[in-house]
Structure 1
Amino acid sequence: MNKNLVVAICGATGAVGQEMLQVLEQRNFPYSKVIPLASSRSVGKKVTCKGEELSVVELTENSFEGVDLALFSAGGETSKKYAPIAAKSGCVVVDNSAAWRMDDECPLVVPEVNPEDLDWHKGIIANPNCSTIQLMVALKPIHDEARIKRVVVSTYQAVSGSGQKAIEELENQVRRLLSGQPVVADVYPHQIAFNCLPHIDVFMDNGYTKEEMKMVHETVKIMGDPTIKVTATCVRVPVFYGHSEAVNIETEEKLSADDVRSLLAKSPGIIIEDYPEKNAYPMPVNAAGDDATYVGRIREDETIENGINMWVVSDNIRKGAALNTVQIAETLIERDLVRVP
């Protein structure tokens, strides 16, 4: 692997940006230099990677000269402005925002699922939505074996998916409620502590939220199969880290619960935790800080001929954002694709 790469982290002071730096260190990512980039108000702040203290530099149009890879997690508007500039300079961009996910010119990639799509990149690669990523890791082996016709997914998503302010809001609300004080909701339209909100992102004309439709459209693009039908209900829950999903799958070919366990147990990125007799099943409290996608509660849906139910849990900041981004970068290196055509 090329150890002379110059890597830029755009949004280096944010929760995902800092997690990216940790993932680069933990996976011993090959680079000669890391440049942490952020807005002007973060200039001079210190971040660390592989034991080296790095000073944050302002993100500008000239930030990408001599940079080979840029990992973006600075919001959609920033990505729309700076990702094309980076690509034009010869830098390959892996973007964690929603800005490029449905662009026909940009691959949308989960490395365990569709690494071959990186072969046709034109300088910008999109990282999928966090809730979509863990779903794809769990669905792909089943689709390859028995062809999925329809997926019904209900998500239970952690507040960290809304950023640091949401984490602080949950902390503050819990503290105030336990001390008998009233709470204030700023990040969410209602109290999130000890509550569930069936509302993630904005509502659309069809009654679904934007988050729900992301799962629909991204699944089809990543799997490369427009015949797969997906419907989703996305719920915000008072959990700090880790998204959970109840997934109902209908396949063309019959699979038993044991067939699914066997398939997933040998699939990359998945850990089976399915021992109900021992009260062992995936939980966000155990998945937090872990790279794996955990799958459990695997059972046949007795209401249809070829149906499977399962429970999927993963850390939304790790696999759902920072880790998947770095894995895309690693796959680009492995496939000798760190170049803009």
Structure 2
Amino acid sequence: MGYKVAVVGATGNVGREMMDILSERGFPADEVVALASSRSKGKEVSYGDKTLKCQVLDHYDFSDVDFCLMSAGGTLSKEWSPKIAATGCIVIDNSSQWRYDERIPLIVPEVNAHVLDEWVKKKDRINIIANPNCSTAQLLVALKPLHDKATIKRIVVSTYQSVSGGGKAAMDELFHQTRAVFVADPIENNIFTKRIAFNVIPHIDSFMDDGSTKEEWKVVAETKKMLDPKIKVTCTAVRVPVFVSHAEAVNIEFENPLSADEARDILREAPGCLVIDKREDGGYITPVEAAGEDATYISRIREDPTLENGLNIWVVSDNLRKGAALNTVQIAETLVNKGLVKPRSDA
């Protein structure tokens, strides 16, 4: 028997990607259920060659569901994830609600899948697994194999994040503002604090007391939780007028020597990574090429002459896939492939 999977928030950007990825990767599901709020009841979403009608979350019985892929925001997750988890269903949550809870594992399978081996053995475990922030997920896929080889001491990250990280309304705002520029219409800001069309905004999420934004803090906290608490991290997160895919310029300081050639060879063999690094015109990846793809792309690998053991890299990935939907499905796949979760229908 296969698994039963529920996708909460199935009508959103990430929810739709989850449905697509479950089908594309052939996840062993006998049944997939699309769930949303009451206002989306009956709305149709695609799952492979099938069309599913959304059911209402409030009235759904999770007693026979194996995995709930949650992509409906932190407020809803705070209310519903514990209720769903209490039924025995494993919730894999894409919001920030549970990422920093010490009881909840925060997982990128290429980075720390081993954490799940111990988690499933806990008799008092909470059946919730957190998905990291989109910018952190792709960053750590690239950093983990380098950290294993030479031990990272410090990283300086500058992110160039697409508007899809802010949801459909943010994508619509970029579209409408861009069109308004060309036809000389008034430009309205509803989602962003400043105009996003033909502009960049060094402000994602709310400001904190130290001057950092919450988005920048997430990168720091999640890197320490998943990779190594001893790594020093500083980040500047910037929203750019790109629809899909986040890019990151990363400066890395290692404890031990690591040449650009060695790093390139390591990353070529690393899971989830794809190196495109030719020192010629166009010999690198950009957000447009990464959109719709599963890989975390690494380009511009070069030594930093200002540090004793320093490298610079350029990291690009589709934030709706590896940064959200794909990573969520991969967590479920990891639990299945390791034999850590059996279908409840078998019992």
Category of TM-score, reference length = shorter chain: over 0.9
Q: Could you tell me the TM-score, scaled by structure 2's length?
A: 0.95
Give the deviation of 1:62 after TM superposition: 4.3
Contact 2:131/2:328, CA 8 A, preserved across alignment: yes
Match of 1:218 among 219, 222, 229: 222
Partners in 1 of 2:197 and 2:115 — Cα distance? 41
Match of 1:232 among 213, 231, 235: 235
- Pair 1:303 & 2:301 matched: no
Aligned pairs for 1:109-120 (under 5 A) are 109-119=107-117, 120=119
Match of 2:47 among 46, 49, 57: 49
Q: Which consecutive unaligned segments of at least 5 residues does structure 1 have?
A: none
Match of 2:82 among 76, 84, 87: 84
Give the deviation of 1:50 after TM superposition: 2.5
SS at match of 1:141: helix
SS at match of 1:277: coil
Match of 1:146 among 137, 143, 150: 150
Instruction: Report the aligned-residue RMSD.
Output: 1.1
Identity of aligned residues (%): 56
Partners in 2 of 1:23 and 1:157 — Cα distance? 22
Q: Could you tell me the TM-score, scaled by structure 1's length?
A: 0.97
Amino acid at match of 2:157: V
Question: How many residue pairs align between the two structures?
Answer: 337
Q: Which consecutive unaligned segments of at least 5 residues does structure 2 have?
A: none
Match of 1:137 among 141, 153, 165: 141
- List structure 1 segments (4+ residues) > 4 angstroms apart after TM superposition: none
Aligned pairs for 1:250-265 (under 5 A) are 250-265=253-268
Amino acid at match of 2:152: I
Give the deviation of 1:260 after TM superposition: 0.5
Match of 1:279 among 265, 268, 282: 282
SS at match of 1:32: strand
Partners in 1 of 2:25 and 2:53 — Cα distance? 22
2:73 paired residue number: 75
- Pair 1:35 & 2:33 matched: yes
Q: Deviations over 1:169-228 (max 9, x none)?
A: 0000000101122200000011000000000000000100000000000001111x2110
Aligned pairs for 1:178-197 (under 5 A) are 178-197=182-201
Amino acid at match of 1:12: A
Contact 1:92/1:338, CA 8 A, preserved across alignment: no
Match of 1:325 among 324, 328, 341: 328
Partners in 1 of 2:85 and 2:263 — Cα distance? 41
Partners in 1 of 2:229 and 2:23 — Cα distance? 38
